[in-house]
Structure 1
Amino acid sequence: MDTSRRRLIALCAVQFIDVMGVTVVVSALPRMIADLDGSPAQVGLLVPVYAVGFSSLLLLAAKLGDRHGHRRVLITGLSLFAAGSVVAATAPGMTWLIAGRAMQGVAAAISVPNALVLLTRTASRADRDRALGLWNATGGLAGAVGLLAGGLTTSAVSWRAIFWGNLVLTAILMATLLRLVERDQKDRRPTPGIDLWSVIFQVTAVAAIVAAANTSARVWAIPTALGLTAIVAAVLLVRRERRTPKPLVPAGLWRPGFVAGLLGSFGVTATTSSLVVVATIYLQDADGFSPASAGLMILPFSVAVVIAAAVAGRLMPRSGPRKLLLGGLLLILAGATAAAIWSSTSALVAGLVLAGLGNGAGAVAAYGLGTAVRPEQQGSAAGLLNTAAQIGTATMVAATVAVATATTRDNGLDYRSGWLTIVGTAVVVVLGVAVMTRASGSRAGAAVHASRVLAGHHHTVGEDKRDARRCC
């Protein structure tokens, strides 16, 4: 195996470890709480603290990579993840365990966008789409492996072994990356600084909205206050970004193709995460499956994600990311519709497979559109794409469960309402992406036409369309 392929696998392993960190503790939660005698308030913090740290700092971490070198910042993030693993593995009480999980969430935010930038920069043009396919396939596999590995490790050894395993894997990965990834090259061009107020407003807005989504089942005043905080911080962020000479996101990044990728990244995770969560509850509540059996019934979704992402990486050079993204979103829409129309286990599993295929293809295409930017913009692009994906999961899972809870007559969920909420979300995202990609295609076609005229070339409409597709 040549060096470039080993480097690609190592960078994708960063995605694997950090995404697996979200789900690996789920199966172990009862044992952790019992061993450490956790209070209800502490239990409520254990899962959200990772999600808040992960989602809120992605954009800042990517900007720090632009300024200080993506390899250097990536290694720093992995070092912090290892330190958090030690704190969690040796935790004498719930407070220390929560602190360790918080460190891991922050470390994941530092690591993932910088690994993505290094992956897109080091892969050749011919291999870039396949690399993105492997990146997204790795993320899809990590979620399922986390649930399985966490449960098996806790049952066979101890929940503390999960974090010791994280430490060993992270140490091996750091050693591999230090050997395979070249040192950061010093850029002679001046790097714009980072506006402190923009950072404060951005982190506050994302952290508040993710925290609100994770506390939506509690007293209404808490998520309401957090939601209002997120809105105020977002308004202040937009105002600050327009005025500061050092914006977190360069103004030139907001082009239709990038916005389509950003909307696709949000939509793919928002719809499929909600579908998986509602399906898991349905299988246990309505069909009487045990938690382990319900997990196995969800497994075809993860397998479909991995297969579709790998295939999409090979198809995208021929089909273009726009068609692939729309096709993936339509598959997700079909899967959610099947679950809503035919309320049966077989229809649900078939819907999960369709949604998994759509997730794999759509995520690759969204990242393909979103990272097709100038080198100096790739850090911001990677940070925003990952932030959109995290917000999609956090907000829409909570919204779907809230709708399903509000429309039921008993203490359970109205599953059809939940699935119809996912269908509606998918329709809105499909329409938004269609508008953005059409605008992107028109702009690219006009640019190609103008370049040909200036160069004095004769051309046909078909040639312009083919060149526009390659651009976008």
Structure 2
Amino acid sequence: MGVTVVVAALPRMLADLQGSPTQAGLLVPAYAVGFGGLLLLGARLGDARGPRRVLLAGLAVFALGSVLCAVAPAVSWLVAGRLLQGVAAAISIPNALVLLIGATEPGRSRNRALAAWNATGGLAGASGLLVGGLVTDSLGWRVIFWATLAATAVLALAIVRLVGPADARTATSLNAGSVVLQVVSVSALVAAANAFGSSWLAAGLLAVLAIALVPALVVRERSTASPLIPPGIWRRHGTAGGVIGSFGITATTSTFVVITTLWFQDARGLGPGAAGLMILPFSFAVVLGAALAARLVKRGARLVLVVGLILIGLGALGVVLEPEIPVTVVALVLSGFGNGIGAVAAYTLGTDVPAEEQASAAGLLNTAAQLGTAVMVALGVGIATAVGPGVDHTSGWLTVAATAAAVTAATLATRRRTAAAPPAADSAAPPTTAPATPPDADSEAAVPGCRRR
């Protein structure tokens, strides 16, 4: 909800603080840059210091960012506060997922936990558009940040009370060089996507910078004794598919929801609150899909992921062919259901790793998800505004359908690659208590045992 709750409040914020268009351009991607850029570092900190401790530290930083935003006398304070909130989210999210997985056993229990994780995330993200609009209209936008401060305090108290102290951890050095390269490359990519609609030259230069830093990061990771991402994690059968799927699910559904929200306001004359209400079918479908996914992934997580992506693409194409409110509501339901089942399947694939790699896997999955939102929403809106005067919603929806098709093809390609070259056994993996029968590579039986923390 931290990502979307301020969207409807942005015009009021800028008007109250007399912000300029340039400052608005900084305010929008500030959270995304902090969130997407530091997720892997947040996961690595959890490996080194313990997920419970790092999660509590992340909540403290989020509280500080909320206070900065709530008392902001100028837009620059809002930008700083949103950046801090994004950094705090990056520190918190992967370690929350590690604690969740560590409290479950492989099988139905873990699938249900992942379903609940993705259902609450999808519901909060979509409902943030509605909540932000209603709160801003009735109580003022500053109440949003005071409410997040109160919520942060409640969460911290709950974690202290309900989550036991972590096991003792061996001190691990953090690779500063890899961290800097990764943060700068991800930040440049997010900034390039956000600059696309206003300056193609700036977007191109930032994209070149992001791409140019990738080889340097790969070389650095291979040559260091303490890599940011454990090298063995890429040999796991589901890592690549899970990461690609996590990117694709958020890239398509976030863009679809944003473009459709704009369409409700631009083409149908609805206000922010009413447009937010029209998005609720998407939120309910996310919850339903996530709840059913816990059972569906038994038939193969990769298959469920592909089905989810296809449903999202079909929903976007349906609105392109018949842009009417009844069709749009059906498309939102299809997209939400695809999000629910696809996100659970992607996380099931991506977390199919030994216990010592759980934090890094969570960091990769969440980095991919946040990049999907930050990059593709900006590109989708940029394409829709670049085609002609105003917003060409059809171009935005076509972008969603094309992205869903491309990610589906990439996910199927990782399946073929895995089948052609199965990874060698990893001696570092902990023993599993699963039956001796050969598991399906995409089923829950393939999930390694996870130690309780």
Larger radius of gyration: 1
Aligned ranges 1:321-332 → 2 under 5 Å: 321-332=301-312
Deviation at 1:444, TM superposition (A): 6.6
Aligned ranges 1:222-237 → 2 under 5 Å: 222-237=202-217
Deviation at 1:323, TM superposition (A): 2.0
User: Does 2:228 match 1:278?
Assistant: no
Please tell me the residue identity of whatever aligns with 1:208: A
Deviation at 1:295, TM superposition (A): 2.0
Conservation of the 8 A alpha-carbon contact between 1:113 and 1:382 = yes
Among residues 67, 90, 102, which one is paired with 2:48 in the alignment?
A: 67
Deviation at 1:77, TM superposition (A): 0.3
- Matched residues in 1 for 2:417 and 2:171: separation? 31
Q: How many residues align?
A: 435
User: Does 2:145 match 1:170?
Assistant: no
Runs (4+) of structure 1 moved beyond 4 Å? 441-447, 463-468
Deviation at 1:193, TM superposition (A): 2.4
The 10-residue stretch of structure 1 (49-58 or 139-148) with the greater mean CA deviation from structure 2: 139-148
User: Does 2:318 match 1:338?
Assistant: yes
Distance 1:422 1:158, change over 3 A: closer
Residue equivalent to 1:184: 166
Residue equivalent to 2:393: 415
Please tell me the residue identity of whatever aligns with 1:26: V
Q: 1:414-459, CA deviations, whole angstroms, 9 ceiling, x for partnerless residues?
A: 3333322222221121121122234445667998xxxxxxxxx9x9
Q: Which has the higher contact order (CA 8 A, sep 6+)?
A: 2
Residue equivalent to 1:309: 290
Q: 1:277-311, CA deviations, whole angstroms, 9 ceiling, x for partnerless residues?
A: 22222222233333332222222111111111122
Residue equivalent to 2:353: 373
Residue equivalent to 2:226: 246
- Alignment partner of 2:390: what SS? coil
Conservation of the 8 A alpha-carbon contact between 2:5 and 2:129 = yes
Please tell me the residue identity of whatever aligns with 2:446: C
User: Does 2:132 match 1:150?
Assistant: yes
Deviation at 1:392, TM superposition (A): 1.1
Distance 1:158 1:392, change over 3 A: same
User: Does 2:277 match 1:296?
Assistant: yes
Structure 1: stretches of 5+ with no match in the other structure = 1-19, 448-456
Among residues 346, 371, 391, which one is paired with 1:391 in the alignment?
A: 371
Deviation at 1:242, TM superposition (A): 2.1
Conservation of the 8 A alpha-carbon contact between 2:182 and 2:217 = yes
Please tell me the residue identity of whatever aligns with 1:433: T
User: Does 2:86 match 1:111?
Assistant: no
- Matched residues in 2 for 1:98 and 1:313: separation? 39
Identity of aligned residues (%): 53
- Matched residues in 1 for 2:104 and 2:419: separation? 25
User: Does 2:408 match 1:430?
Assistant: yes
Structure 2: stretches of 5+ with no match in the other structure = 426-434, 448-453
Q: 1:339-389, CA deviations, whole angstroms, 9 ceiling, x for partnerless residues?
A: 222233222221111111000100001001101101111111111100101
Conservation of the 8 A alpha-carbon contact between 1:445 and 1:464 = no
- Matched residues in 2 for 1:99 and 1:468: separation? 42
TM-score by length of 2: 0.90
Deviation at 1:27, TM superposition (A): 2.0
- Alignment partner of 1:242: what SS? helix
- Matched residues in 1 for 2:313 and 2:132: separation? 31
Please tell me the residue identity of whatever aligns with 1:417: S
- Alignment partner of 1:21: what SS? coil
Among residues 14, 17, 23, which one is paired with 1:42 in the alignment?
A: 23
Among residues 184, 189, 197, which one is paired with 1:204 in the alignment?
A: 184
Q: Give the aligned CA root-mean-square deviation in angstroms.
A: 2.3
- Matched residues in 2 for 1:230 and 1:183: separation? 39
Deviation at 1:131, TM superposition (A): 0.5
Conservation of the 8 A alpha-carbon contact between 1:441 and 1:468 = no
